Amino acid sequence: MKGVKKSKSKAKDRHAANNTEKTIKKPKNFDALQKCVQKVIRFWQREYNIKRVGWITDFDKMITRFVKPKPIYKYCVMLFYVFYFSKKQTDNNGELKIMKGHVRQVRSVHFSPDGCTVVSGAYDETIRLWNVQSGKQILKLDTTHDVECVQFSPDGKSIASCSFDLTLRLWDVKLGIEIKKFIIGETARKIRFSPDGNTILAYGYGNDIEIWNLVLGQKVSTMKGHSSFVMDVHFSLDHSKILSVSRDKTIRLWDAKTYKQEKIFQGHSDWVIGAYSILDGQTIVSTSLDNTVRLWDSKSAQQLQKIELFTEIRGLNVSPDGKTLLLFGLDRIIRLWDASSLKEIHSWKAHFSTITDTNFSSDSSTIVTSSCDNTIRLWRFR
């Protein structure tokens, strides 16, 4: 009986082996199927800027070998149209231009005062200028290190940049050359021009905010108060105050002339990532990693309103007229809120990867966004 059982077991094994051979047999149109899969994969690579695909080249062979011919055609067509129409959906949400040229993630974008040009800085060691109307690159400035932050001067004649070589550099827009360089140290990674263009606030990887006088070419003051890294700095609508936010969970208000701290706003339970004055300038809006948006009275430093969010927010911006809030998060969706009602007025998925920066044009009608997908995008919402 044992011999009969062994013979039956061997027969089953041979039968399973024969079935396996039939299963992995090449279909007649194997080459055509493989080309179809490769087209879809190339589309993914192009849209998501995938440089290295590793095992994916063998994966397309497996797909075409083990899936029946007709379904794979349908599968490829379905995938192509899903991605194609998801891209077209982005185009229908006010997208004006896609600016491509950077080969690594774009970290910072900023409009020129006249709204005709956008400057961008990226981790490909370049600063680039783009024509807003055409979406074409008009100037490329090569640096020696990855660029973390860029900003136009208030008169639009120069650009300030901050890089990982611990420098603050000024560039002449018309000539396309570096005109000044300051060694600012390892604690500064972001910069903010003063409204008169004579000074720059440098901050980012330290608890302090450094004040650099561009005329004298030296640091003239330091704003001390935060107990952890400063996340962002902005001037109030009337330019008389400076708002700073920090990982210490506070917002601080400073006098823009004396650089003295005037008020501390406390209430957030996690890092504060942005704060701006809005509307009449007497109200301050802030957002935090605690997933809340809060309103504060600028005179009393008291919290006026708290809104719980159901998504993780990673950035806040406010239009120059103080009437529109812009929030973005890990879901890559831009959300516009009316500053008076704090109601969402528009939202759309802006990029295929993490959003790194946003900026409004001076007339508050156009938004520029940058992303880890290496692109810059222009949007019109008014």
> CB under 8 Å to 71, separation ≥6 — which residues?
none
Query: Would you state the structure tokens that stand for residue 182, as one six-digit string?
Result: 């300051």
Q: Assign 11 a pLDDT band (cuts: 50, 70, 90).
A: low
What's residue 93's pLDDT?
Answer: 63
Looking at the chain, the whole-number percentage of residues with pLDDT higher than 70 is 75
CB 117 within 8 A of CB 151: no
What is the enclosing helix (H) or strand (E) of 36? helix 30-48
Report the C-alpha dihedral over residues 158, 159, 162, 166, rounded to 10 degrees. -20
Inter-CA distances, 378 with 98, 127, 131, 289, 318, Å:
7, 18, 11, 26, 16
Residue 177 clears pLDDT 60, i.e. is over it: yes
Query: Would you state the structure tokens that stand for residue 347, as one six-digit string?
Result: 């939202």
What's residue 207's pLDDT?
Answer: 95
Q: Is 176 exposed, middle or buried (0-12, 13-18, 19+ CB in 10 A)?
A: middle
pLDDT tens-place string over residues 316-358: 999 999 999 999 999 999 999 999 999 999 999 999 999 999 9
Q: Angle at CA 16, nearest 5°, toward 11 and 21? A: 125
Mean pLDDT computed over every residue of the chain:
84
> Could you give the domains of the chain?
15-91 (no CATH), 97-380 (2.130.10.10)
Closest CA to 321 of 238, 379, 255, 232: 238
Query: Would you state the structure tokens that stand for residue 205, as one six-digit string?
Result: 């990887």
Distance CA 137, CA 78 (A): 35
Residue 44 clears pLDDT 60, i.e. is over it: no
Phi-psi region of 34 (alpha: psi -120 to 50; beta: other; left: phi over 0): alpha
- Parallel, antiparallel, or unpaired: how do β-strands 117-122 and 126-131 relate? antiparallel
Closest CA to 334 of 95, 31, 61: 95
What is the enclosing helix (H) or strand (E) of 76? helix 69-91
Distance CA 339, CA 327 (A): 12
Concatenate the DSSP letters of all residues of 37-58 into one string: HHHHHHHHHHHHT----TTHHH
Distance CA 113, CA 183 (A): 27
* Average pLDDT value for residue range 195-209: 95
What is the enclosing helix (H) or strand (E) of 126? strand 126-131
CB 107 within 8 A of CB 376: no
Cβ of 114: how many Cβ atoms within 10 Å?
12
- Parallel, antiparallel, or unpaired: how do β-strands 147-152 and 137-142 relate? unpaired
- pTM (2 decimals)? 0.76
Distance CA 237, CA 183 (A): 30
Residue 181 clears pLDDT 90, i.e. is over it: yes
Closest CA to 99 of 139, 59, 151: 139
> CB under 8 Å to 308, separation ≥6 — which residues?
291, 292
* Average pLDDT value for residue range 136-160: 96
Distance CA 164, CA 131 (A): 27
* Average pLDDT value for residue range 359-364: 96
pLDDT tens-place string over residues 230-249: 999 999 999 999 999 999 99
Distance CA 166, CA 192 (A): 16
